[in-house]
Amino acid sequence: MTDEARHDAIERAWQDLVDTARRTAAEGLVVGTSGNVSVRVGELVLVTPSGVPYDRLTPQDTVGVDLDGTQVIGTLAPTSELPLHLAVHRETGARAVVHTHAVHATAVSTLVPELPPVHYMTAALGGPVRVAAYALYGTEELARNMLHALRDRTACLLQNHGTITYGDTLAQAYDRTAQLEWMCRLWLTASSIPGRTPSLLSPTQLAEASARLRGYGQQPR
């Protein structure tokens, strides 16, 4: 890739990252400057900066680090959750990561060790979504706990904290975040009815849904 092509790719990726971060705020998945987003361009990871409102970000605010966490682009400090993002980028095939403090998902993280499989979209995230054990934000301990919960999954809950999802694109990572928050809201709503217990999907039913979802959408001809 030429220097010009790399510059253009970084510029496009940064704009997509900013748009995604703004969407998390607009759709109520974060409050203020909470949550963060990253996207990978080759060996470079672009991340949202720490403590800067998303509506103020411009191309001049681009922040990029290498996979070891060394900052190579920008002067703003990277998000305090950089260890989470780098752990996902290093240990999975992720090209994009979205971390939020979504209300319903965070509520579920305080109640159960994993989100019960109340809907077939559980299969789209690899199976029942686990809750990573609590650790202080921004620490390597939290990153380790998260990776354990993400095993064979593309999403997990962070106990008393929030959510993290990843995907091949920012759009896919964001969609998984939105689906996770919706399923958490669904489970909380169903389980709040006195005297009733939500029905859950079996492993066989989830496997069937997973197979069907692999062929979902428009297929190339």
Known catalytic residues?
Answer: 81
183 to each of 76, 186, 210, how far by Cα in Å?
A: 35, 5, 16
Residue the block writes with tokens 């979802």? 213
How is the beta sheet containing 155-158 ordered, strand by strand? 71-73, 64-66, 44-47, 36-41, 96-100, 162-167, 155-158, 131-132
Helices (H), 27-169: 82-91, 103-109, 140-149
Residue 171: CA count within 13 A, CB half-sphere: 0
The answer to whether residues 38 and 13 touch, using CB atoms and an 8 Å cutoff, is: no
Pairing of β 64-66 and β 44-47: antiparallel
CA distance 141 to 119: 31
**Vertex 119 angle, CA 115 and 92, to 5°:** 60
The SS3 assignment for 152 reads: coil
- Kindly tell me the burial class for residue 121, based on how many C-beta atoms sit within 10 Å of its own C-beta (0-12, 13-18, 19 or more): middle
